[in-house]
Amino acid sequence: MEKKTIITIGRQFGSGGHEIGAKLAEKLGIKFYDKDLIKIMAKKSGLCEKVLESYDEKPMNSLLYSIVMDVYPSVMYSGPTIDQQIYQACYDAIRHVADEGPCVIVGRCADYILRDQEGLFSLFIHASDEFRKARIKEEYKVTDGKAMEMMIKTDKKRASYYNFQSEKKWGAAVSYDLCLDSSILGVDRTVDLLLDYLRYKEQG
């Protein structure tokens, strides 16, 4: 594998994107980042982890959200809004981990933030509704109806965040190097397919 390869993964909720990313990183012997990026964001920016978690991959209205979180600045304040600060923290954290070496990064517009990165490989994982519902029901112990509701709401939030922060469209094939349906092969065989793809890609 190329020394500078950075793999970014966008994913539908319930498609197994996190698990695929973690297993892919393990097999490649490189670092994996998902929720743990929040700790890096907090450390580098000085922002509260709880606030960062609340904003994670979600569209937001700076005024309303900041009032609820009791972090809205005074009317005399002319600096960056809280959502701008948080996006900057996310940007800095992603650039930081990419500079450290090969890794897999899940979500958070990483493919767009690193669009000028040498060796970037952007991936999107999607799956059938039935496959996703089954995974969500098993992990969260919810009903069919609740699983579907979680799928729709989470995907809507992720799409809104991605489409706002980038110049691309979330989930659209043209936005990524490769899109895969994890429900066809399952998580483990999708990982194997990606390993083969990366090997062929490296060979040119």
As to burial, measured by CB atoms within 10 angstroms (0-12 exposed, 13-18 middle, 19+ buried), residue 31 is: middle
Q: Once rounded to an integer, what is the mean pLDDT over residues 73-84? A: 59
Q: What is the CATH number of domain 6-203?
A: 3.40.50.300
Residue 180 clears pLDDT 50, i.e. is over it: yes
What does the block give as tokens for 26? Answer: 């393990």
When pLDDT is cut at 50, 70 and 90, the band that residue 47 belongs to is confident
Q: Once rounded to an integer, what is the mean pLDDT over residues 180-193? A: 97
Cα separation, 112 vs 152, whole angstroms: 23
pLDDT reported for residue 51: 77
What does the block give as tokens for 173? Answer: 């094939």
Predicted confidence (pLDDT) per residue in 89-104, tens digit: 899 999 999 999 999 9
- Whole-prediction pTM: 0.87
Give the residue extent of every domain in the chain: 6-203
Residue 142 clears pLDDT 70, i.e. is over it: yes
Q: Percentage of the chain surpassing pLDDT 70?
A: 87
- Three-state SS string over 139-153 comes to HHCCCHHHHHHHHHH
